[in-house]
Amino acid sequence: MVSTKLLLIILTVIVFDTLGLGLIEPDIQCTVTKVIKAQDVLGLKNFPKKYDAIVNNGMLSKLSIRSKPFKSEAPSTIFKEGLREKILIKKDGAELIIDVKGKPMSRQGTLKINNELVAEVTCH
């Protein structure tokens, strides 16, 4: 009886996550491929630089940007439809939005900081 309830809870979480409701943090593995405008944000000087990485392990809740860990920030999926996904990272008044399109193994997109386009990214 307990296993049936546990299975129902797991299925509910998976369905809500599939709908993009942000119950589970998204896994992120993005690399900056083209810089449009760099700025000082989140304690990072001249961010982004070409080949900077934005990585989040959703299961372990470990976010790092340019190899700098951010422990209390949890990215969330704010839009998900078909092959398009938008991921939001908020910290210290800054909003980073990764907007990607494509199949999960090779998605192309953009990085915005506070609604300003700053880079093109490739995500896996």
pLDDT tens-digit profile of 48-74?
Answer: 999 999 999 988 889 999 999 988 778
User: Per-residue pLDDT for 100 more than 90?
Assistant: yes
CATH number (domain holding residue 81): 2.40.128
Could you tell me which residues come within 8 angstroms of residue 59 by beta carbon, excluding any fewer than 6 positions away?
25, 27
Pairwise CA distance, residues 9 & 95, whole Å: 31
Q: Does residue 57 fall inside a structural domain?
A: yes
Q: Identify which of 89, 79, 74, 73 has the alpha carbon closest to the alpha carbon of residue 21.
A: 79
Reported residue count of the chain is 124
Q: Does residue 1 fall inside a structural domain?
A: no
Share of the chain above pLDDT 90, in %: 62
Q: Does residue 37 fall inside a structural domain?
A: yes
Q: Are 71 and 82 in contact (CB under 8 A)?
A: no
Q: Does residue 11 fall inside a structural domain?
A: no
What total of structural domains would you count in the chain?
1
- Taking residues 29-33, report their average pLDDT: 96
Classify strands 94-101 and 84-91 as parallel, antiparallel or unpaired.
antiparallel
Q: Does residue 47 fall inside a structural domain?
A: yes
Domain with 32, as residue range(s), is 24-123
Q: Does residue 32 fall inside a structural domain?
A: yes
Residue 123 CB coordination number (10 Å): 22
Classify strands 76-81 and 94-101 as parallel, antiparallel or unpaired.
unpaired
Q: Does residue 29 fall inside a structural domain?
A: yes
Q: Does residue 71 fall inside a structural domain?
A: yes
Q: Are 66 and 110 in contact (CB under 8 A)?
A: no
